[in-house]
Structure 1
Amino acid sequence: MWKDAKKLTAVAGILLLCASVVAGCGGKDALTKVKIGEVTRSVFYAPEYVAIERGFFKEEGLDVELTTTFGGDKTMTALLSNAVDVALVGSETSIYVAQQGSEDPVINFAQLTQTDGTFLVAREDSGTFSWDQLKGKTFLGQRKGGMPQMAGEFTLEKQGIDPHADLELIQNIEFANIAAAFASGTGQYVQLFEPQASIFEKEGKGHVVASFGVESGHLPYTVFMSKQSYIKKNQDTVQKFTNAVQKAQAWVASHTPEEIADTILPYFKDADRAIIVSSVKRYQEQGTYATDPILDGAEWNNLLDVMDNAGELKERVAHDVIVDNTFAEKAKSTVK
């Protein structure tokens, strides 16, 4: 029995040693969890999906959990309530939080897209298009105060159209239901993201006639942001996150629409590959995908102009108040 006891003790010791070694290895190689909330699922965010699928986040030691939160208000609520660590959403939402006098402001730290991502889709194909054709028509726009709607109104006014007087503007439909409303017969024109715009073209439900991204210029349209408290506590994680974004942006800039589409297809399981390729190509050609995560002052001021034009800006929030480019600048200079 004594020998059996000694054997059991020895086995137990070996098992404990193995467990400690495994735990030690696991601790060394463990990935840091980061929860991302994206405002919608769109080809518009291709670099984000590339960063996940090509393993750029994992290379930086991060394990990202992606949730689609559908709508800027819902995304910001998720961030402020700590349901997510990082939000991918329009910079205007961080300005709204700042205007409310938050003690823990939301900080923009890595830009993903630099133009509006919506397109003007007409129900009928007139052969040639001019913006005057919208006058007197029903236009199915986006949610009031959201970046798509503000950029849309900015573009319409730039084209000499008063969106509240020259056409019937509908903007009380939930973001996720806008495409379905148009498909069911509401409106003669609609403002849509890809791939929905291309899907409607293929199905004969509409025709892309103009790009709001081209017309409204460079904007910090979609940016990764976190609460200031999170960034202060997790600076190393935020830097690694931004490095992964930079890697993805460089990869997207140097690859074809077909290669990008094949990488992001898992995020659009019910979509036709040709539609995804077409959508990526449109965004690439108009320079929508930012080539680095830096949010510069000129883009910020254009955003403020767009918000001011929409009547959504109480006061101009300075660029350096809720934008921190230190992570993006380091990523751009060090990531190859």
Structure 2
Amino acid sequence: MGDPGPITPDSFNDGRQQISQPFRLTATGYNLNYLPEYIALRHGFFQEQGLHVTVNIPVPWDGVLDALADGTADMALGGIWVPSMYRDRVQNYTVFAQIANRCPLALLRRGHDDGFKLQDMVGKTVLMKSGGGASVGLFFKMLMRENDIDPRSLDYIQDLDGVMLGNLFQGGMGDYFVTDNLSALAMVDRNPNVSIAMEMVEQEDVPWSVYYRETATITPEVIDAQNRFCVALGKGIDWVLQHDAESFRDELAELFPTVPVDVAVKVTNAFRRNGMWTTTTVPREGFNRWQLGLRDARLVKEPLAYESIVHDGIAVAK
């Protein structure tokens, strides 16, 4: 998805002005799997908790770490693989909440043959976007290993922009294409020659997107604000889970204007059904699964212990 620019409560709500505590978020992207946060902004849930939340999306995405370091952001939103690989090497970060509980990717193929199996991909070439970080390749190769397939038995093209790879895939490059679910459905909607072989949201829990901050900067005041943020975010998650996407299609159209609204509705409901959004708490089982994937990818020497990086008490305090 493209960068919509700075996001503020005034971008989303009805213009109500309240005196509240500034709470600055820096995020690695603008994605449908962050929907409960956008709903919380639109519906004033953060303001109810006395927080004036603003969002900045730096380009390139790793500017979120600079924003934490120089104090221009109070927290970062992105993949847990970053604070994991930085732990005890460069900087220690503490994760205090989760928003996306599943992987929001999809696997595209040409044609519409039934009976797809991951084993069919052995010896084939897979295109994978990487402009937003390493998550795409990390998850896909972990999924291969979990299904007893050596990731080295496939060829990869993954050092190019997602839009470029999408155009090349439709033009004949490679055999499969891994991209975000929303972009995949949009491509299928306009291109009858491609179809979705697999939606990764169906492939069990993983803490895909989390909120974190430099560990050394955490104070009781910071924890208090994080607690209130979790309460509001949890309310946003509950709201999305309680409303069929068809009932708020106008909001989805405003949030994602470059995507056909029917596609946005379809993906949102698929995410609702398949556990993309649950609670703000990082799941232990999903955390441990992802840590094994990061170890096998050599990003960490050994899987991190849950308590070494996650402050679970904040998210469950709501």
What is the TM-score when the length of structure 1 is the normalising length? 0.81
Q: How does 1:11-50 map to 2 (within 5 A)?
A: 29-50=18-39
Give yes or no for contact 2:252–2:265 (8 Å, CA) kept in 1.
no
**Is there any run of 5+ residues in structure 2 with no aligned partner, and where?**
1-16
Which position in structure 2 is the counterpart of 1:326?
313
Counterpart of 1:41 in structure 2: which amino acid? Answer: Y
**Cα deviations by residue, 1:58-87 (Å, 9 ceiling, x for unpaired):** 111222222233666343343334343221
Which position in structure 1 is the counterpart of 2:284?
297
**Cα deviations by residue, 1:206-227 (Å, 9 ceiling, x for unpaired):** 3111122323x21111111122
Change (3 A) 1:160 1:325: closer
CA positional deviation for 1:189:
0.9
Which position in structure 2 is the counterpart of 1:96?
85
- Aligned identity (percent) is 22
Q: How does 1:82-231 map to 2 (within 5 A)?
A: 82-102=71-91, 105-143=92-130, 146-164=134-152, 166-174=153-161, 177-204=164-191, 206-215=194-203, 217-231=204-218
Counterpart of 2:158 in structure 1: which amino acid? Answer: Q
Matched pairs, number = 299
**Inter-partner Cα distance in structure 1 for 2:228 and 2:87:** 26
Change (3 A) 1:195 1:36: same
Counterpart of 1:124 in structure 2: which amino acid? Answer: G
**Inter-partner Cα distance in structure 2 for 1:234 and 1:64:** 14
CA positional deviation for 1:265:
3.0
**Inter-partner Cα distance in structure 1 for 2:108 and 2:59:** 21
**Is there any run of 5+ residues in structure 1 with no aligned partner, and where?**
1-27, 332-336
Which position in structure 1 is the counterpart of 2:57?
68
Which position in structure 2 is the counterpart of 1:20?
none
What is the TM-score when the length of structure 2 is the normalising length? 0.85
Which position in structure 2 is the counterpart of 1:12?
none
**Cα deviations by residue, 1:286-308 (Å, 9 ceiling, x for unpaired):** 2111x211113222211111111
Give yes or no for contact 2:188–2:195 (8 Å, CA) kept in 1.
yes
Q: Which has the higher helix share?
A: 1
Change (3 A) 1:297 1:127: closer
Give yes or no for contact 1:117–1:212 (8 Å, CA) kept in 2.
yes
CA positional deviation for 1:183:
4.2
Change (3 A) 1:55 1:177: farther
RMSD between superposed Cα atoms in Å: 2.4
Change (3 A) 1:70 1:260: farther
